[in-house]
Amino acid sequence: MDANAAYGNGAITSLYQRIQHLYSFLPYYLSPTGASLPTWHYYFEVTRRCNLRCKMCQYITWLKTTPAKTQSEGELSTEEWLDVIDQTNRFSLITFTGGEVFVRKDFMTLLERACSKRRVHFISNATMLNEDRARQCVELAPKRFGGRGFNFLGTSIDGTREVHDVIRAQKGAFDKSIRGVSMLAKFRQESGKKAPLIHVNTVIQDENLDCLSQMPAIVAEAGGDVLNLLTEMRSFDDLTVGHVDPGKFSKEDIAQKRIDRRRLHAALNDTFAEAKRHGIEVRMPRMPYEEVLNHYDQGYDLRKFQCRSIWFTLYVGSKGGVYPCFIRKVGNVREKRLKEIWNGPELREFRKRRRQGGFALCRGCCELEYDAKAARRLDAAPAPSKPEDLASAARSKTEVSRPMDAG
């Protein structure tokens, strides 16, 4: 099977990506001040605590080195999160993520409030998605897909039972997650609703390459709709990320994982073929197939990518920190309203700076978007005219690295 031919997102994924692309088009190209249209997508990391310790987790260093007491200290209360939810714009989409959202006992209260106002998505390892919660989730789904309520579930399965349990560092994790997802799929079917759409996230890694092609069957069996293959990001291994200038990091500071190109190609090829056989949509990063192989090989050229996300997305961390993305903190909800921060000086400056080129920390980020025109220009003039990322251009090693808390 030709991997390039098989490569392409399904209708709903494409529609959302097109909306985001159009929404950010004018400000991205025409805003000299870095100001943008109102926030369209919010990510709320309601806690960074988690019941698992997955080997590849982007937060594994934080989870393993931060004492339990410090992990929860200063987290926004239920009332504070409800207020944050109430601050969101009318036509926006809210994604809840973590850590693990169900570690918070009040998560269903937050979900309920968000669903009464906006379109909602949450990402969970689903090990704590019990029958009551699964039922409630389907009740919170809109009658018509795309309406107010719970529209998307993102859940994570990283391989077959044995492989998943090793990666997720917990025996029985696979069975728990599959049970939660299957229950939700069953209740959805009984309700006659199309939502929530179930996306199964799988991080491509050396450990699951040999069983990657079995993922479409696993997704189909659990009643899922989309297999979302993610490239591995290692930028958050350094706990100062988000709290110091992102330009200070270079490619060498990030321990990006390598995978043999031919092995990866073969595994992806087989996965696409199996997905077709099982009628499962495979969602891939927004870049040509070759660049996915490059990511795990010598790395891609960041000048060939844009980041539109920071022009329509806002993140709020577990302790109220506000970020265009987690590599740069620009405020705290305990000090300012979201609307004030959105087009405030720090965020506008960050957008303008990011528009000029990527940071080394952007490697593996699922928000990267391939810029075919920029790529053609670069390929026509192969001699490097400037450093590949902003870190190499203006590297400051003067700041002292120190452990940071999740903001």
Ligand X SMILES: C[S@@+](CC[C@H](N)C(=O)[O-])C[C@H]1O[C@@H](n2cnc3c(N)ncnc32)[C@H](O)[C@@H]1O
Q: Which residues of the chain form contacts with ligand SF4 (CB under 6 A)?
A: 50, 52-54, 57, 59, 63, 98-100, 125, 307, 309-310, 325, 327, 354, 359, 361-362, 365, 367-368
Q: Is 125 near ligand X (CB under 6 A)?
A: yes
x/- contact string, 307-346, with ligand X (CB under 6 A)? ----------------------------------------
Name the residue nearer to ligand X (CB basis): 302 or 375.
302
Residue with CB nearest ligand X? Answer: 201
**Which residues in 211-238 are b (16+ Cβ under 10 Å) and which e?**
bbbbbbebbbebbbbbbbbbbbbbbbeb
Residue 124's binding partner out of ligand X, ligand SF4, none, with CB under 5 to 8 Å set by partner kind: ligand X
Instruction: Please report how close the Cβ of residue 381 comes to ligand SF4 at its closest, in angstroms.
Output: 24
What are phi and psi for residue 300, nearest 5 degrees? -90, 165
The whole-angstrom separation of Cα 124 and Cα 249 is 30
Which residue among 39, 47, 58, 66 contacts ligand X (CB under 6 A)? 58
- Nearest distance from C-beta of residue 262 to ligand SF4, angstroms: 28
Question: What would the DSSP string read from start to end of 152-215?
Answer: EEEEE--SSHHHHHHHTT-TTHHHHHHHHHHHHHHHHHHHT--PSEEEEEEE--GGGGGGGGGH
Examine residue 256 and tell whether it contacts ligand X (CB under 6 A): no
Burial of 318 (0-12, 13-18, 19+ CB in 10 A): buried
Q: Does residue 292 touch ligand X according to CB under 6 A?
A: no
- Is 107 or 272 the residue whose CB approaches ligand SF4 more closely? 107
CA dihedral 193, 196, 200, 201 (to 10 degrees): 160
Q: How far is the CB of 125 from ligand X (least distance, A)?
A: 4
Q: 136 burial class (0-12, 13-18, 19+ CB within 10 angstroms)?
A: middle
Partner from ligand X, ligand SF4, none binding residue 368, C-beta < 5-8 Å depending on class:
ligand SF4
Torsion angle defined by CA atoms of residues 90, 93, 99 and 105, in that order, rounded to the nearest 10 degrees: 50
407/243 Cα distance (integer angstroms) = 9
Q: Which stretch binds ligand X (CB under 6 A): 53-61, 180-188, 285-293, 320-328?
A: 53-61
Which token pair is 325? 């993305």
Residue from 47, 151, 182, 201 in contact with ligand X (CB under 6 A):
201
Nearer to ligand SF4 by C-beta: 57 or 137? 57
If one asks whether residue 238 binds ligand X (CB under 6 A), the answer comes out as no
Phi and psi angles of residue 343, each rounded to the nearest 5 degrees, phi first: -115, 30
# of chain residues touching ligand X (CB under 6 A):
18
Q: Which residues bind ligand X (CB under 6 A)?
A: 50, 56-58, 97-98, 100, 123-125, 155-156, 201, 203, 230, 232-233, 364
